[in-house]
């Protein structure tokens, strides 16, 4: 199960990919981490999927990460007497708190926090931006708007508010229940939807209590504006380009994607690029040329993972989509320009001992053309620092804690192995050499470099490098 690429593949499970045989095919095709979308999965289904993934994990002997994606607040208009209405650009349209079915002049907006927060001039985007309204006046009970673009509105369509900072947290009651069920089921990552501010992460952190790591989805302008603070409080980021492209000018999304990926790399936090990467493969066996280029750009940027959504969850060709993404990533990483682009994006290390050790390990490994960097890590921090350097040689992360290995399966260039902790320095070297050889990274006579902390089993004490020969 050794991958011949460094970027990881994150795939969403759904109606097309929930059976054990299909999940196994997806793993064989290249999936490293699975996403369970809690917008569509109830707790029983989520637990079933976790159990199926863990059974495949046991069968393959490889740690597989699981991400539970929380729905977040879903803001929707009410219902219409006729189910839908045709509007005219320039007309007045009102959103109010009246539950009476709507018509061509008004509809209920059953979210008092929006009615009290929107200010004149703010935009309201309905149905993924297909209908654009602009607030003219508000009084806390209704918002009078002008139709700017689009002409159709219908029952329960979603509302996006790119200009409005809502005074509500990112977690709903459903999210809190889903979070508790997911961490009790043993998921490794929790994705937080519609983050607006750093404080949105604090509640999830308190509820998770260290049982899962937190991935903040950047999909709102407010999150982009406070990106640095959000990164500091997050364990990973996702460039959620779907809603980001609705709430911000779509032409700005590629630049924002680069800003987020580079800021996350600077902080040593994993970053996932998501949404519509191979969208046409929902119904076609091959992607468009533009989609291939889109995936390749994320790989060239050094993203930790690239994600499939409906392509693997509900598409007609889930295995083919994963296999295609795998082939694109492999080809990009073999391109002669790839190392120079990755090297050009490197940043100076933080002024800490472990970061200096990680920099030294990469430079030694590349200078001496060693076959692998082997890290001993209980918390995962040593693996994170090694991956931040984006070395040209593979990273083997050894951990005695299976949860750590599963979490690191999202990490760029990192091959995770669950292994008992070393008893002493000699055992550490022997174990690292044996695993590097048996996992197919090193041959007898080649050399590896080992990163660890002394004394052993001391969290956060990465302070040692050791070059070792692979024995016969």
- Which residues form the catalytic set? 35, 76, 217, 275
Of residues 7, 2, 158, 11, the one with CA closest to residue 75:
158
460 touches 452 (CB < 8 A): no
What are 263's two structure tokens?
């800021």
Q: What are phi and psi of 102, to 5 degrees?
A: -80, 170
C-alpha 132/C-alpha 8 separation (Å) is 37
C-alpha 107/C-alpha 333 separation (Å) is 52
- Report which DSSP code applies to 157: -
407 CB burial (10 A radius; 0-12, 13-18, 19+): buried
- DSSP per residue, 377-439: -SSSHHHHHHHHT--SS-EEEEES-HHHHHHHTTSTTEEEEE-PPPSSHHHHHHHHHHHHHHT
- How many residues comprise the chain? 472
156 touches 77 (CB < 8 A): yes
**Partners of 425 in beta bridges:** none
What are 430's two structure tokens?
């022997």
Element (H, E) at 95: strand 92-96
Helices (H), 99-213: 112-117, 173-185, 199-208
435 touches 396 (CB < 8 A): yes
């Amino acid at each position: 199960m050794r991958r011949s690429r460094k970027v990881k593949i994150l795939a969403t499970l759904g109606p097309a990919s929930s059976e054990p045989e299909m999940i196994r095919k997806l793993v064989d095709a290249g999936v490293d981490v699975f996403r369970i979308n809690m917008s569509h999965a109830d707790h029983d289904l989520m637990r079933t999927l976790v159990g199926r993934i863990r059974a495949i994990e046991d069968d393959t002997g490889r740690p597989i990460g699981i991400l539970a994606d929380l729905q977040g607040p879903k803001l929707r208009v009410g219902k219409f007497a006729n189910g839908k209405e045709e509007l005219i650009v320039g007309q007045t349209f009102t959103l109010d708190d009246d539950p009476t079915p709507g018509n061509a002049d008004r509809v209920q907006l059953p979210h008092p926090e929006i009615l009290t927060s929107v200010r004149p001039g703010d935009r309201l985007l309905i149905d993924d931006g297909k209908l654009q309204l602009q607030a003219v006046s508000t009084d806390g009970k209704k918002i009078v708007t002008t139709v700017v673009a689009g002409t159709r509105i219908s029952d329960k369509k979603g509302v996006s508010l790119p200009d409005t900072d809502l005074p509500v947290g990112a977690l709903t009651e459903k999210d809190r229940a889903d979070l508790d069920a997911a961490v009790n089921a043993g998921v490794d990552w929790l994705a937080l939807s519609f983050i607006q501010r750093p404080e949105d992460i604090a509640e999830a952190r308190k509820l998770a209590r260290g049982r899962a790591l937190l991935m903040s989805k950047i999909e709102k302008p407010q999150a982009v504006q406070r990106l640095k603070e959000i990164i500091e409080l997050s364990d990973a980021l996702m460039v959620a380009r779907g809603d980001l492209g609705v709430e911000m000018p779509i032409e700005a999304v590629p630049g924002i994607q680069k800003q987020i990926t580079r800021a996350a790399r600077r902080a040593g936090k994993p970053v996932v690029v998501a949404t519509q990467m191979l969208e046409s493969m929902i119904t076609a066996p091959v992607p468009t040329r533009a989609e291939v280029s889109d995936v390749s750009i994320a790989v060239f940027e050094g993203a930790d993972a690239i994600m499939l959504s409906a392509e693997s969850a509900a598409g007609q060709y889930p295995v083919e989509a994963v296999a295609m993404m795998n082939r694109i990533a492999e080809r990009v990483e073999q391109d002669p320009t790839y190392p120079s682009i990755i090297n050009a994006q490197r940043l100076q290390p933080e002024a800490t001992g472990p970061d200096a050790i990680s920099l030294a390990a990469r430079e030694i490994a590349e200078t001496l053309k060693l076959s692998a960097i082997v890290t001993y890590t209980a918390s995962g921090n040593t693996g994170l620092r090694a991956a931040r350097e984006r070395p040209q040689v593979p990273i083997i992360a050894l951990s005695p804690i299976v949860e750590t290995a599963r979490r690191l399966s999202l990490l760029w260039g990192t091959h995770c192995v669950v292994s008992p902790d070393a008893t002493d320095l000699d055992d550490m070297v022997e174990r690292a050499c044996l695993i590097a050889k048996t996992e197919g990274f090193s041959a007898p006579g080649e050399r590896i470099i080992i990163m660890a902390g002394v004394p052993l089993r001391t969290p956060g004490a990465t302070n040692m490098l050791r070059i070792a020969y692979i024995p016969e």
